[in-house]
Amino acid sequence: VASRRQYHEKVLDHYSNPRNVGSMSKTDVDVGTGLVGAPACGDVMKLQIRVDPSNNTIADVKFKTFGCGSAIASSSYLTQLVQGMTLEEAGRVRNTEIAKELCLPPVKLHCSMLAEDAIKSAIANYYTKNPKAQSTDLSGT
């Protein structure tokens, strides 16, 4: 039955072979940690970035998601997307971009929102630990 086919093949690919799963030491000064939850379903996503302070780019990304297939696929895709981006660029990634890539249906849009929230939260955490990085970023724009 066609209606049973809930997930697009790109979601299944990321779900069965998630990229960049893992975690980093939260206490490292060059690591930003984002931990967010989706009120709609209770799913939780942890996303961490390691930043190269010489140019404010994302040198490494890791995630752990306790959630549905779309949430896992969204975070897996996001880690690939933001790798090598500046913090400023990564902060502009929108969930709609993720949803489009993975062909998420409307009912699964909040799963990609979790990924957007997670990267924003990781960047904010990095800036809290490295206030000077933020002023460098802002003056550069």
Using CB under 6 A, list all residues that contact ligand FES.
38, 40-41, 43, 67-68, 70-71, 108, 110-111, 114
| 53 close to 29: Cβ distance less than 8 angstroms | no
Q: Which is nearer to ligand FES, 33 or 75 (CB)?
A: 75
Active site residue 68: no
Q: 124-137 burial by CB neighbour count: b if 16+ within 10 A, else e? A: bbbbebbeebbeeb
3 DSSP 8-state letter: G
Choose, from 29, 40, 41, 103, the residue flagged as catalytic.
41
> What is the closest distance, in whole angstroms, from the C-beta atom of residue 71 to ligand FES in the complex?
4
Choose, from 85, 87, 111, 119, the residue flagged as catalytic.
111
Residue 35's region, left for phi above 0, alpha for psi from -120 to 50, else beta, is beta
Q: Which is nearer to ligand FES, 9 or 52 (CB)?
A: 9
Active site residue 41: yes
